[in-house]
Structure 1
């Protein structure tokens, strides 16, 4: 993923570790915007309209509930992001290496998207769906019932009431969102990077951030309906994907499937730049350490 056209493949453990580091950094720095977007997408209380401006949502929550409320569910998202981005960078790098052109080291746009889609499905199954379920349930619960004391408590309650299926509520919407989002985000980023590499455009922090931001815009506009369906499915009480779709149509009509687009767009532009920049930086730090340990192990074996 991070290698240029003539570079060797990034080792799997390096991809996994660097992706996890990047995911954790991205989740923590952009969480208030994620919180605001989730609040807007959840069903509004009667007589209490939700502002469209994410900064107004953040300000209102801060004034009424304090700064800690803005990070409700953050721990679940951080854990999920570490697992999600570790897994999807790992799988994307392996898939890209398997299908790339052996001479140039690049993928066609179609294969870039397919590689990202496959990585997204794996990430949804292994990490994203249960952690997103806990995060969304915590944010929704904080508005009304306040049953959940923490992420672990929410996990126990949901498990006791609904079993493991309760933690995978919204799986269909999450997987559709994750597969398409990863396809567009990773695919767009790598299409841009391959284009620049072929034209000897230097890869640095600025180009990494710009490519990641463009990938974030494309991802948001293409996958927003799946994100809204996922959020509705994963409310505190939970609902099926079909019921989530019905409730969106009843509340807002077809336009409701793009609810929170502005907020998510702001976050994904910001977080996309952070994610890929952090990943590239983490690889530069981790890969030499990994190589040193690997060479030491081989030397001792000999």
Structure 2
């Protein structure tokens, strides 16, 4: 009789383990995003975002290139906008958009694809990515996008915007401008400021993904299946963007100077930083912070919202193991 009771107890206990394992596997599977989906969703999000926010990027770049020794041409953000529209029309605020548009799609695709690839490796057995690992995954994503896409794209964009300020602009369009840059400076001409770009993008994405993951983990708590409203995602994204702006605007200023038409004045990244500090003072490292803050907060909020929504759609139509 006791043997029968033991056997019954054993049989009733057996299903508990598989159910627990299955539940954990289901949770992990739900938390993972296939890198292929991340690449597609990231590309779509990046293309839409840049079309919305480019004028703020234009103003930020002009203010950063407007060195005090010139003397400065622009007195404020509003003055820069008014002068640009007076001289070039509203379309002048979109000068250099083509280079960013062509680059933003692969940039976001590489960023999110690499982040999901690394985070899928870094997540624990329950499918959760902790805050510290998200920082490292974001760093890896930022370095990848800097080398593969951002540096040549940003160099071309800065040269185009800087060229518009000259008396005789020589770049007539995207392809003609790229041909001219490569003809005069070779392929290296599109990779000016690589070190500064890697530092900027690496720190950018490390900060953004760290803040975004920290806020998401806090919001979800012990319920990984809790639904995140797009407005919540946008608010978290804006916070992540703001943190990255205050964290690395000095690197962004150095990168912009290293990629401008007067980049030959600087021996290297450190020399550029030294000259800015010596000639313009510490505050020069935060030139363009306000327009950049507006653009980046909007940028990151839009990208994360669109990315999450596109992934949700892809999860319904694209079944992955």
Q: When the two structures are superposed, what TM-score results if normalisation uses the length of structure 1? A: 0.89
Pairing of 1:72-151 with structure 2 (within 5 A): 72-103=95-126, 105-144=127-166, 145-151=168-174
Choose which of 153, 170, 173 in structure 1 pairs with 2:196: 173
Deviations 1:69-125 (CA, angstroms, capped at 9, x unpaired): 11111111112211111111011111111111212x222322111110011101111
Structure 1 position 209 matched with structure 2 position 209? no
Once the two structures are overlaid, the 10-residue window that deviates more, 197-206 or 138-147, is 197-206
Aligned residues of 1:43 and 1:232 also touching (Cα < 8 A): no
Residue ranges of structure 1 left out of the alignment (5+ in a row): 296-302
Distance 1:46 1:119 in 2: 37
Q: What's the counterpart of residue 272 of structure 2?
A: 244
Structure 1 position 270 matched with structure 2 position 270? no
Q: What's the counterpart of residue 19 of structure 2?
A: none
Determine helix, strand or coil for the equivalent of 1:10: coil
Q: Over alpha carbons, which structure has the higher Rg?
A: 2
Distance 2:83 2:310 in 1: 36
Determine helix, strand or coil for the equivalent of 1:7: helix
Count of residue pairs brought into register by the alignment: 289
Structure 1 position 192 matched with structure 2 position 232? no
| Cα separation, partners in 2 of 1:283 and 1:263, compared to 1, 3 Å | same
Once the two structures are overlaid, the 10-residue window that deviates more, 199-208 or 141-150, is 199-208
Distance 1:124 1:58 in 2: 29
The alpha-carbon deviation at position 8 of structure 1 amounts to 4.4
Once the two structures are overlaid, the 10-residue window that deviates more, 281-290 or 81-90, is 281-290
Distance 1:255 1:171 in 2: 23
The alpha-carbon deviation at position 199 of structure 1 amounts to 4.9
Q: What's the counterpart of residue 254 of structure 1?
A: 282
The alpha-carbon deviation at position 48 of structure 1 amounts to 4.2
Aligned residues of 1:95 and 1:115 also touching (Cα < 8 A): yes
Q: What's the counterpart of residue 180 of structure 2?
A: 157
Aligned residues of 1:40 and 1:51 also touching (Cα < 8 A): no
Q: What's the counterpart of residue 74 of structure 2?
A: 50
Distance 1:65 1:91 in 2: 39
Q: What's the counterpart of residue 287 of structure 1?
A: 315
Q: When the two structures are superposed, what TM-score results if normalisation uses the length of structure 2? A: 0.84
Distance 1:63 1:247 in 2: 33
Q: What's the counterpart of residue 224 of structure 1?
A: 249
| Cα separation, partners in 2 of 1:220 and 1:5, compared to 1, 3 Å | farther
Residue ranges of structure 2 left out of the alignment (5+ in a row): 1-25
Distance 1:279 1:128 in 2: 19
Q: What's the counterpart of residue 233 of structure 1?
A: 258
